[in-house]
Structure 1
Amino acid sequence: MDRLGTLDIFVQAAEGGSFVAAARRLGISSSAVGKAVARLEQEMGVRLFHRSTRSMTLTEEGSYFLDTCRRILSELDVAQSELSRLRAAPRGLLRVSLPLVGMLLMPTISAFMRAYPEITMDLDFTDRLVDVIEEGFDAVIRTGEVRDTRLMNRKLGSFRHRIVASPGYIQAWGRPKVPLDLLDHRCLHHRYPSTGKLEPWPLAVEDGNSRLVLPVAVTASTLEPIIHLAEQGFGIACLPPFVIGPQLDDGRLVTLLDDHIVQTGTFRVLWPTGRFLSPKIRAFVDFMADNLVVDGAAAAPLKAVSAAKP
């Protein structure tokens, strides 16, 4: 900024025709103007003014440099004005990546779009592990652990998985009373597309430490096939509650082993770490935290934290 200030002093001196005129415009002393121009000439290695006791005119190099300085200062004014405008009203393109189950977040996202009509949404639905920075996303919404240290995150809400089956399946196969009973049942598993691993079922077994190795009847990389197969009586599934709300409400699926579920899942919004958070991203993060309803409760606003994990 000191260098930009020196350029402004030079422009004022050139346009005013003297150091005295520049000093009057800038509210500084004429000797300060003269020293600034002298330093600039020394740094540039050229003489910018022809000076005499009666007049001061630009050299050929000075004329060229004046045009360049005017462009630089003009672009700075434009940039400052644009930044002020953006901070006053969130606007522009907002690229957001959501999991495939993110369609269930659309009522909240629709409300955000109504609240901020000058923000254009570009929504990408995928369960793959996107590279937020390399792929140019402004924000992503995900469940599970976050390990990218280049990202900040904010918790949107927590939820408890549900173990579910259709009434027809229960009639045919019986109702499991404790987690160990699942060893005699058909289990429908979600497979993480990013790693190929099966999503663990958050169940407490009798010793409190070991994890059940459950039978595998079906695996799928998205939840929709699992929901459909569970509805049709093909097995028992472990699913987040927000993807099976209608099925639970109308009785197509019923919950099992509710007292044995010990872990919770978390929805988080993540965005690239930066010293300054753009108005459109800040508006999106705050709105989702204030308005998203997860597992029957609105997400409480929390302080953003680094996404780094041990």
Structure 2
Amino acid sequence: MDSLGALSAFVQAADASGFTEAGRKLGVSPSAVSKAIQRLEERLGAQLFYRSTRSITLTPEGAVFLERCRRILCEVEAAETELTQAQSVPKGKLRISLPSVGILFMPRFAEFKRLHPKIEIELDFSDRLVDVIDEGFDAVIRTGEQSDSRLMARKLGVYRKVIVGSPVYFRQAGLPIHPEDLTTHSCLIYRYPSTGKLDSWPLRRDGELVDVALTTSMVMNTLEPQISLAEQGLGIACLPDIAIQKQLEDGSLISVLDDYMGTCTILRVLWPSSRHISPKLRAFVDFVADKLLETATSRCR
């Protein structure tokens, strides 16, 4: 037996309190187990078992060594499982929760589905704080800090909100120069579906939040109408910069008050912590980390 085999023989013998049962589980003779452990003791320079004609019991040194051996063998098993899973085809159902801004990522999810046709994807769009484990999600994409110690996390990127309107709108209503100027403008406000609360615009001056009484023109609970109505000149909106990259580039939307909108938001993928990550989940995490915000350019600085 090699060194790893000797460790396995030692653990099996300790668990079975004998060489005969250990040999049966390992598929070798009791004498082979006994000799392997004896050679291990000689190499360590320590006695691992007290032996009698009827039984064996761990010595104090053996008890300490046993716990180390268990961890070593568990790590080997985990490495073998990980390698085996990595070589298998990702398949099965994935339940993913995303915030409302996640609708912007559908082209990427379509790409992922084409790459992994055997993975069944269930998407849940919600701005509420879901319990990943208790609600049975395989992974969630969320903003902000990760505080649940039961979860693993991987940063996907950053974005920030910008206040935008169309050139036609600003020609008619004028450009706001200070946050307080927003009180005279028509505002297209987002309402969180999960809580019913209106989105607050994160305006800051000298690091402090600026509280402005916005004039609400229209309220909606999805991003697309905000973008469309802003483009049509019906008001100004506060939107994630990654959601309106095309409009900012082609000039159909213009950002204002940029010096007051410096707060950046981190986007992460979270999943339950486990020794073994399934091939389908690993494929998803690696994909979104590499591709989700690949072409998006945030104004974070």
Per mean C-alpha deviation after superposition, the further-off stretch among 285-294 and 80-89 is 80-89
State the one-letter code of the partner of 1:173: A
How far the C-alpha of 1:3 sits from its partner, in A, is 5.9
* 1:129 maps to 2:129: yes
* 1:224 maps to 2:231: no
Conserved in 1, the CA contact under 8 Å of 2:139 and 2:272? yes
Counterpart of 1:197 in structure 2 is: 197
How far the C-alpha of 1:157 sits from its partner, in A, is 0.6
Q: Which runs of 5+ in 1 are unaligned?
A: 41-79, 299-310
Conserved in 2, the CA contact under 8 Å of 1:99 and 1:126? yes
State the one-letter code of the partner of 1:214: A
Larger Rg belongs to: 1
How far the C-alpha of 1:39 sits from its partner, in A, is 6.0
Counterpart of 1:285 in structure 2 is: 285
Query: How does 1:24-43 map onto structure 2 within 5 Å?
Result: 27-28=33-34
C-alpha change, 1:39 and 1:115, in structure 2 (3 Å) is farther
Counterpart of 2:102 in structure 1 is: 102
For residues 256-283 of structure 1, what are the alpha-carbon distances to aligned partners after superposition, in whole Å with 9 as ceiling and x for unaligned?
2223321112211111233443343333
For residues 25-68 of structure 1, what are the alpha-carbon distances to aligned partners after superposition, in whole Å with 9 as ceiling and x for unaligned?
x55459x9xx899669xxxxxxxxxxxxxxxxxxxxxxxxxxxx
Q: Distance in 1 between matches of 2:197 and 2:234?
A: 21
C-alpha change, 1:210 and 1:267, in structure 2 (3 Å) is closer
C-alpha change, 1:39 and 1:109, in structure 2 (3 Å) is farther
* 1:260 maps to 2:267: no
For residues 242-301 of structure 1, what are the alpha-carbon distances to aligned partners after superposition, in whole Å with 9 as ceiling and x for unaligned?
222343344432222223321112211111233443343333223322223267459xxx
Length-normalised TM-score, structure 1: 0.65
State the one-letter code of the partner of 2:293: V
Q: Distance in 2 between matches of 1:129 and 1:149?
A: 15
C-alpha change, 1:85 and 1:276, in structure 2 (3 Å) is closer
Q: Distance in 2 between matches of 1:8 and 1:114?
A: 54
Counterpart of 2:245 in structure 1 is: 245
Conserved in 2, the CA contact under 8 Å of 1:159 and 1:295? no
* 1:215 maps to 2:214: yes
Conserved in 1, the CA contact under 8 Å of 2:167 and 2:252? yes
How far the C-alpha of 1:168 sits from its partner, in A, is 2.7
Counterpart of 1:47 in structure 2 is: none
Aligned length: 252
Q: Over aligned residues, Cα RMSD in angstroms? A: 3.9
SS of 1:106's equivalent in the other structure is helix
Q: Which runs of 5+ in 2 are unaligned?
A: 1-7, 39-50, 57-78
Counterpart of 2:48 in structure 1 is: none
Per mean C-alpha deviation after superposition, the further-off stretch among 226-235 and 289-298 is 289-298
Counterpart of 1:88 in structure 2 is: 87
Question: What is the percentage of aligned positions where both structures have the same residue?
Answer: 46
How far the C-alpha of 1:82 sits from its partner, in A, is 7.4
State the one-letter code of the partner of 1:224: E
Q: Distance in 2 between matches of 1:245 and 1:37?
A: 79
Length-normalised TM-score, structure 2: 0.66
C-alpha change, 1:123 and 1:214, in structure 2 (3 Å) is same
Query: How does 1:52-71 map onto structure 2 within 5 Å?
Result: none
State the one-letter code of the partner of 1:23: P
Q: Distance in 1 between matches of 2:24 and 2:249?
A: 77
Conserved in 2, the CA contact under 8 Å of 1:90 and 1:283? no
Conserved in 1, the CA contact under 8 Å of 2:19 and 2:33? no
How far the C-alpha of 1:196 sits from its partner, in A, is 3.5
C-alpha change, 1:97 and 1:210, in structure 2 (3 Å) is closer
SS of 1:157's equivalent in the other structure is strand
* 1:23 maps to 2:30: yes
